[in-house]
Structure 1
Amino acid sequence: MQGNPHRVSDVMTRAVVAVNRETLFKDIVERMERWQVSALPVLEGDGRVIGLVSEADLLPKEEFRDSDPDRITQVRRLSDLAKAGAVSAEEMMSMPAVTVHADATLPEAARIMALRHVKRLPVVNAEGLLEGMVSRGDLLKVFLRPDNDLADEIRRDVLDVLFPAPVEPVHVTVVDGVATLTGRVRDAARIPLAARLVQGVEGVVGVDCRLTPATDG
């Protein structure tokens, strides 16, 4: 019923800075600083993503620089301690990389990030070759859609379809992403469905459904 959903390809960054297995620690830090990014995909061969090195992977070197961790910390933070002594991307990267395809929907990408506790995802094709990067911030761009665009989509794809012959005109206004629906309709059973479908329009922040059923005579 609703328009085509936004895909990862609509919001991802296509120009991506990457490193290989042999890239050294200082070079990684310099690239992050130069390009203002917090993570770099690690590639091999013709561009296949094998891992990701992030600021979190680099920080143990500073955290444990002048400390002598006790035995409990050594057991609990074994991976971080190993990264503290690392000098190359291969030794520090998180692998296998958690990735997403360009044709995934934004909710699908958001669920992957939430379930895997990551802040960004390399975007790969069917062969695992890098096509871009998508971050949490990229997924939020959909909420920058203008209010009038949201109202037009809601009217066209939801209200006009569910209520083709209302008792009185069904109106929608959108302010700061919040959609307000007003009017009297013949089929009261469709009112909750309308609210759910409007909430599903990408960019809608909230729904104030004031639709009411028509009453006879």
Structure 2
Amino acid sequence: MRTLKVQDVMTRNVTTVREGTPYKEIAAKLVNSGISGLPVLSPTGVVVGVVSEGDLLFNEGSAGKHEHWHDALHPAMARKAEATVARDLMSKPAVTTAPNTPVRKAATLLARHGYKRLPVVDSVGRLLGIVSRRDVLSAFLRPDPDIAGEVEHEVLLRTMSINPAQVDVAVTDGVVRLSGRLERKSMVTVIESLTHAVDGVVDVVNELTYESDDEGLRLVDPVDGTQLRDLW
């Protein structure tokens, strides 16, 4: 099965700033680009951090505060409150992803960290592009017939060596409904897992039945009792 990767959906033309970019220039780029955060690059193009609207607003909101208020802050936050350039305003290290990362994994990273976008970097950390929540969501716009076709031909036929005629695959708004009768329970479990991994699948309703429950059965060496391999 071909899995949709970050490189398939990312934006390659990225607005960035350098470590020495001043506050007002950062603010102007954010406003003019209509985005909420910018990668901060080193002189060699390596992503060293991300500066966001929140970083700038924290700095602005701290202006005029009593000096004891600054003393109570964590050192990193106190430094940000007084910052005037990107290297001191930015959040670091940046959470990044690689171009060959599956889109589903990138979605998990975005959700886990509460970010709106992730810089995409090469093996040494140089910026290649950026992937946003909107880019990730594009994977779920895949037409239902395309999803059904991949489940039938890639999951059932090519991966599981099962005649697609044995399983009814119905897809509605990305929700895959599987029904039919198979020989073993382990087949049912694997098919459901593989179907979940198909790009564009929102959910899987598994109505497959089976003739025998082979889960947990193992072939054992009659001499020493060690497991040889799974039965299926």
Checking the alignment, whether the CA contact within 8 Å between 1:119 and 1:135 is kept in structure 2 is yes
5+ residue gaps, structure 2: 213-232
1:119-198 → structure 2 map (5 Å cutoff): 119-161=116-158, 162=160, 164-165=162-163, 169-198=166-195
For 1:208 and 1:48, the matched residues in 2 are separated by 44
| Percent of matched pairs sharing the same residue | 38
Cα deviation, 1:70-125, whole Å, max 9, x if unaligned, reads 55x74344433322221111221122323222122224434544565544321122
For residue 82 of structure 2, what is the aligned residue in structure 1? 85
For residue 8 of structure 2, what is the aligned residue in structure 1? 10
For residue 51 of structure 2, what is the aligned residue in structure 1? 53
Cα deviation, 1:158-200, whole Å, max 9, x if unaligned, reads 223436347x642111111110012223334311221121112
Q: What code does the residue aligned with 1:58 have?
A: L
Tell me the TM-score normalised to structure 2 length: 0.79
Distance 1:171 1:60, change over 3 A: same
Tell me the TM-score normalised to structure 1 length: 0.84
Cα deviation, 1:6-56, whole Å, max 9, x if unaligned, reads 111011110000111221111111111111111111123242222211112
For 1:87 and 1:171, the matched residues in 2 are separated by 62
For 1:123 and 1:108, the matched residues in 2 are separated by 13
For 2:199 and 2:184, the matched residues in 1 are separated by 25
3-state SS, counterpart of residue 100 of structure 1: coil
Checking the alignment, whether the CA contact within 8 Å between 1:64 and 1:81 is kept in structure 2 is no
For residue 106 of structure 1, what is the aligned residue in structure 2? 103
178-187 or 115-124, which moves further after superposition? 115-124
For residue 62 of structure 1, what is the aligned residue in structure 2? 60
Checking the alignment, whether the CA contact within 8 Å between 2:185 and 2:210 is kept in structure 1 is yes
Distance 1:95 1:179, change over 3 A: same
Do structure 1's residue 26 and structure 2's residue 24 form an aligned pair?
A: yes
Q: What code does the residue aligned with 1:102 have?
A: P
For 2:171 and 2:74, the matched residues in 1 are separated by 49
- Structure 1 residue 147 displacement after superposition: 1.2
Distance 1:62 1:32, change over 3 A: same
Checking the alignment, whether the CA contact within 8 Å between 2:176 and 2:203 is kept in structure 1 is yes
For 1:74 and 1:154, the matched residues in 2 are separated by 59
3-state SS, counterpart of residue 34 of structure 1: helix
Distance 1:172 1:97, change over 3 A: same
13-22 or 205-214, which moves further after superposition? 205-214
Checking the alignment, whether the CA contact within 8 Å between 2:156 and 2:163 is kept in structure 1 is no
Checking the alignment, whether the CA contact within 8 Å between 1:163 and 1:185 is kept in structure 2 is no
For residue 40 of structure 1, what is the aligned residue in structure 2? 38
141-150 or 183-192, which moves further after superposition? 183-192
Do structure 1's residue 213 and structure 2's residue 210 form an aligned pair?
A: yes
RMSD, aligned α-carbons: 2.5
